[in-house]
């Protein structure tokens, strides 16, 4: 049974009560369907015995909660917290720094990579959870009993998971690995705030010439800025494929926009003139936008061999292969080799995975000469 917190005094009192609690389980409920930023609706807290549901919609002073959650004396237990950190930062100006993410820990000890909360609870605690309320309207008031039950469950088992996973990390001597991955998580969250290079992630962008690629970068930056200002999804302005086609065509006149595939006429009426203006402005920008081309067929064979070696290493070390390296990192390494400037990404050359990834990479690279 949880306690409902729906005014400033109650929140302040709760934060005083939890100030000496070293482990606090935390989760958030939010909606992100028709906005750019997530709309936070609820914050769940637990000390391992009691659960509190903080009604964010009824509170306007979050300073006590900020002091509590940002305190270095408190460890916050989350599961898959990247979005939680983002919503806490934007919605209530809270930036936790001392966290324990049970999803990361589960991967490090080889229970499973990117495992969901329900599966992890089932795996470690043999408890089956009902997750049917995931997509419900959390901004509605009052919440239904099913929503309340769901919100409670999201923090109910985190303390037990923390205890079991921490023991496994110590037993496997992987606590340092876990700490490195947690620091990397904060880097991922920070990168989400800066979308200056979003254009590099658009499929097919590498095919554009320098002028069109510069236009694509400019259009993506304009769309991101406008979506943030109006708090609307980027796709409501124009999908990635639409911006790609516009950058490729470099239109000068409004009627040319009607030939762009999958761009709704309403969006053309609303944004067409602005888009044409932004395309024109991009012509005056330095043409230094760059997107890596796909690796060559010969390097692709080397890529496959490296991946095969990493799969074997992962099996031997009893760790999910996805933790060792991702596709983009390996492709970047091989491009650096092709350009005569071999280098490893910081995440690999400065961390626990270096010894295995570097040996696998250099073993295959040596065969190219």
Q: What is the DSSP string of 71-122?
A: -TT-EEEESS-HHHHHHHHHHH-----SEEEHHHHHHHTTS-TT--HHHHHH
Quick check: is 38 in a domain? yes
CB 51 within 8 A of CB 2: yes
Quick check: is 288 in a domain? no
* pLDDT band, residue 339 (cuts 50/70/90): confident
Q: Are residues 41 and 170 in the same domain?
A: yes
Domain boundary among 174, 193, 212: 193
Domain boundary among 173, 193, 213: 193
Q: How far is CA 140 from CA 61, 137, 149, in A?
A: 21, 6, 15
Per-state percent for the chain, helix, strand, coil, to nearest 5: 60, 10, 35
pLDDT tens digits for 197-212?
999 999 999 999 999 9
Q: Are residues 236 and 183 in the same domain?
A: no
- Asked if residue 32 has pLDDT above 70, the reply is yes
- Domain holding 260: CATH number? 1.10.150.80
> CB-based contacts of 320: which residues, under 8 Å, 6+ apart?
107, 110, 112, 113, 314
- Asked if residue 369 has pLDDT above 90, the reply is no
pLDDT tens digits for 236-258?
999 999 999 999 999 999 999 99
Q: How far is CA 204 from CA 199, 234, 243, in A?
A: 10, 19, 11
* CA–CA separation, 269 and 297 (whole Å): 44
Compare 37 and 130 and report the one with higher pLDDT: 37
Quick check: is 290 in a domain? no
Q: Are residues 346 and 327 in the same domain?
A: yes
* CA–CA separation, 185 and 93 (whole Å): 18
pTM for the full predicted model = 0.92
pLDDT tens digits for 173-232?
999 999 999 998 888 777 777 778 999 999 999 999 999 999 999 999 999 999 999 999
* CA–CA separation, 282 and 251 (whole Å): 12
Predicted local distance difference test score (pLDDT) of residue 258: 95
What's the whole-number mean pLDDT along residues 340-354? 89
* CA–CA separation, 121 and 186 (whole Å): 25
Q: Are residues 96 and 149 in the same domain?
A: yes
What's the whole-number mean pLDDT along residues 345-362? 90
- Asked if residue 14 has pLDDT above 90, the reply is yes
DSSP symbol at 293: P
Q: Are residues 186 and 211 in the same domain?
A: no
Q: Could you tell me the two tokens for 168?
A: 């496994």
Judged on CB neighbours under 10 Å (0-12, 13-18, 19+), 51 is: buried
**Farthest CA pair distance, the chain:** 70
Domain boundary among 253, 282, 311: 282
* CA–CA separation, 248 and 121 (whole Å): 49
Q: Could you tell me the two tokens for 302?
A: 């080397």
CB 329 within 8 A of CB 290: no
Q: Are residues 25 and 141 in the same domain?
A: yes
Closest CA to 361 of 320, 304, 296: 304
Q: Are residues 242 and 306 in the same domain?
A: no
Range of the domain at 19: 2-193
Backbone angles phi, psi at 128, to 5 degrees: -100, 125
Instruction: Provide, rounded to the nearest whole percent, the portion of the chain with pLDDT above 90.
Output: 87
pLDDT tens digits for 113-139?
999 999 999 999 999 998 676 678 999
Predicted local distance difference test score (pLDDT) of residue 85: 95
Strands laid side by side in the 39-46 sheet: 2-5, 51-55, 39-46, 23-31, 75-78, 99-101
Q: Are residues 140 and 246 in the same domain?
A: no
Q: Are residues 125 and 245 in the same domain?
A: no
Q: What is the DSSP string of 10-37?
A: HHHHHHHHHTT-SEEEEEEEEE-SSSSS
| β partners of residue 28 | 43
* CA–CA separation, 1 and 246 (whole Å): 55
- Asked if residue 93 has pLDDT above 90, the reply is yes
| β partners of residue 31 | 39
Q: Are residues 309 and 268 in the same domain?
A: no
CB 18 within 8 A of CB 65: no
């Amino acid at each position: 049974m949880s306690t409902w917190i729906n005014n400033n005094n109650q929140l302040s009192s709760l934060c005083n009560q939890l100030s000496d609690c070293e482990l606090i389980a935390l989760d958030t409920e939010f909606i992100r369907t028709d906005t750019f930023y997530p709309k936070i609706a609820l914050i769940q807290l637990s000390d391992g015995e009691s659960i509190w549901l903080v009604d964010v919609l009824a509170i306007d002073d979050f300073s006590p909660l900020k002091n509590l959650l940002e305190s270095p004396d408190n460890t916050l237990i989350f599961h898959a917290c990247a979005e939680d950190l983002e919503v806490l930062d934007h919605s209530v100006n809270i930036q936790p720094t001392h966290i324990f993410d049970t999803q990361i820990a589960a991967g490090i000890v080889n229970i499973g990579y990117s495992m969901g909360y329900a599966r992890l609870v089932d795996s470690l605690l043999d408890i089956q959870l009902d997750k049917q309320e995931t997509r419900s309207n959390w901004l509605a008031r009052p919440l239904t009993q099913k929503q309340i039950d769901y919100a409670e469950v999201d923090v109910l088992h985190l303390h037990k998971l923390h205890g079991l996973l921490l023991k496994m990390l110590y037993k496997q001597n992987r606590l340092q690995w876990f700490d490195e991955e947690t620091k990397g998580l904060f880097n991922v969250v920070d990168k989400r705030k800066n979308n200056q290079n979003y254009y590099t992630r658009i499929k097919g962008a590498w095919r554009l010439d320098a002028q069109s690629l510069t236009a694509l970068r400019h259009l993506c930056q304009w769309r991101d800025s406008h979506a943030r200002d109006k708090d609307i999804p980027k796709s409501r302005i124009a999908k990635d494929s639409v911006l790609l086609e516009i950058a490729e065509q470099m239109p000068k006149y409004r009627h040319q926009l009607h030939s762009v595939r999958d761009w709704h006429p309403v969006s053309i009426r609303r944004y067409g003139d602005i888009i044409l203006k932004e395309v024109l402005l991009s012509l005056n920008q330095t043409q230094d936008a760059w997107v890596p081309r796909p690796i060559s067929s010969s390097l692709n064979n080397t890529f496959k061999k490296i991946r095969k070696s990493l799969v074997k290493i992962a099996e031997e070390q009893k760790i999910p292969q996805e933790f060792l390296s991702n596709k983009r990192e390996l492709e970047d390494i091989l491009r650096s080799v092709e350009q005569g400037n071999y280098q490893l990404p910081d995440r690999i050359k400065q961390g626990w995975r270096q010894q295995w990834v570097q040996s696998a990479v250099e073993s295959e690279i040596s065969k190219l000469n």
